[in-house]
A and B are shown apart, each in its own frame.
Chain A
Amino acid sequence: MWLPVALGVMMSATSTSRGHERPRIVSLREAPKAFKVALLKELGYGVDGNRILTPTGEKYLDPASGVAVSVDNMIILPGESPPIVLDDSPMSLAWYVGKYGDIF
């Protein structure tokens, strides 16, 4: 199981541009695919190979760009509920920051 060791020594709490406590920032780039798949399933998404599926089994599309999001190129950011899975691209990040504020 992939488990980042430094989770307990992250940054001190600060606020985001929307007044929320800043989340801890963790890179998924080095995470094994098995961890990503398990996490997606825990969040309620489906997985078919490298393709992410909605809870009802349809192809999951990035809300900002409309492209199918792959396990290899996803990020997961806090949203309203549940957390939002996005394609890792400037378009999706800019969309997210515009909608939810700068958490980074």
Chain B
Amino acid sequence: MSEGPFGRTPIEEFAAGLARGTFEATGPSVKEYATLLFNRKLAFIGRRDYILEVKAQRESPEWLIFREFVKDERLSLLAQMGLTLRDWESDPARKKDIEKLRYRIFTKYGEEGVHIAQVVQSRVLTGVVPAVLGSVNSMQRAATLIESFLKDSFRLCRFVQEKDPMAAIARAVGDHLSVNRPPLFVLFARGAAIKTCSTIAKRLIEATQEYAHQVHDLYGSRIIVLIRIDLTSRHPAF
């Protein structure tokens, strides 16, 4: 007998039995089921596709890399949900699932939580990780920077739209960089907004001497990572 997707075949038989509406009058009582649950011998599940997706995601190379840097429980969960949203975004059949998941993220973690998940969904974090790894000389420092970026991504990642006012955004981001001196700042754009994003980035790069930049073009999106030069020079403090 071959193994099923949960690593064992009997669940398939069991699920099939349930689907047929098979009942047995002499089976366990509700009380006995409760006892099995209390004793960790039973789990009542719902949609199997959700379980399979969560399991597959936790084995994906991208997640295995993220988890090395993202240890905070809230950020870790939001990062996983970002990956889930990405998995679903190209499938029209998952539109309702996407809405439900976004609602849950918003309910628990607010607009900031939705933004963090979006940072992962849009592959911004996928662009940030190599930029950081190429700039610091310890895993611990890399983890701190990546986790800090994700935590503060509401302020450190700008999703640029095609019609955004370029001069105003370049000025606002430039002021933020010169006043707050964050280690990282990211501009993200997709499709027609890439031109707008690149123009903003060009103005920023010309205006600041403190930041180097990396450009990542991934799946029709542009991710421009601005990274403070005292990090890239492997300053002793880092």
Contacts and interface: CB of A to CB of B under 8 A. Distances in A.
Nearest to B54: A93
B25 interface: yes
A6 B13 contact: yes
A24 B33 CA distance: 11
A14 B8 contact: yes
Given A3-B23, A5-B24, A88 B105 contact: no
Contacts, number: 183
A6 B12 CA distance: 10
Contacts of A21: 40-41
Interface in A42-74: 42-43, 62, 64-67, 73-74
A6 to B, nearest CB: 4
Interface in B22-68: 22-25, 27-31, 33-34, 36-38, 40-48, 50-51, 53-55, 57-58
B77 A94 contact: yes
Interface in A66-96: 66-67, 73-78, 81-83, 87-91, 93-95
Contacts of A88: 45-47, 50
B73 interface: yes
Contact of B40 (A4, A62, A78, A98): A78
Interface residues of A, number: 56
A2 B44 contact: no
15 contacts: A1-B30, A4-B23, A23-B41, A25-B45, A27-B46, A27-B48, A38-B30, A74-B46, A78-B40, A78-B43, A83-B34, A90-B101, A93-B51, A97-B58, A98-B76
Interface of A: 1-7, 9-12, 14, 20-21, 23-31, 35, 38-39, 42-43, 62, 64-67, 73-78, 81-83, 87-91, 93-95, 97-99, 102-104
